[in-house]
Amino acid sequence: MQVITLQQKHKEPETFEQLLSQHLDSLYGLAFRLTQNQEKARELLQESCLTAFEKFSQLREINKMKPWLFQILHRKYLNAYRRKKEPPIVDIELDEELLTIPNDELSADHFEQLFGDEVQTAFDFLPAEFREVIFMADIEEFSHREIAGILEIPIGTVASRLYRGHSLLADKLKEYASKHGYLK
């Protein structure tokens, strides 16, 4: 992990871009999970990056940049959702190749590659509040405390959403598991 002091952060204009580039795949993954639409996910990501750039000087600790970026993206999503007061549109004709961005660690793209269409469909039909928390915990490996900070909700709510989301996902996947021989 790169250690950058606050003085360095403000003297080097390319620092923001370097640090942001490490998290773009993850941010896009969350944006897509929330909007379920490629175009809207790109717009949400772009707006979030612009806000992050404008507020970069307010970031006190570089090692907390990822949760900070996720929080900005989450707030942008909530604000857009409140303005429109409509649920996200599901893009049925999703071209998964467009979502594939190489990464060395487990990311949203690897998540899609690891599981069949049935699993992806079940995950996509979870309510956004459960998809968001499951994505952050299981794919991005944020702690419950970090997720609570990003979403500005109590830790108990994070745990509850994870439990309920996993339960809903398990229910939706029972047929898939039986079909593929995982259950008898």
pLDDT in tens, 133-167: 999 999 899 999 999 999 999 999 999 999 999 99
Q: Which domain holds residue 44?
A: 1-100
**Total of domains in the chain:** 2
Separation of alpha carbons 151 and 129, rounded Å: 10
In a domain, 59, yes or no: yes
Same domain, yes or no: 71 and 154: no
Q: Residue range 31-47: average pLDDT?
A: 91
Same domain, yes or no: 144 and 169: yes
Residue 92: band (very low, low, confident or very high) from pLDDT cuts 50, 70, 90: very low
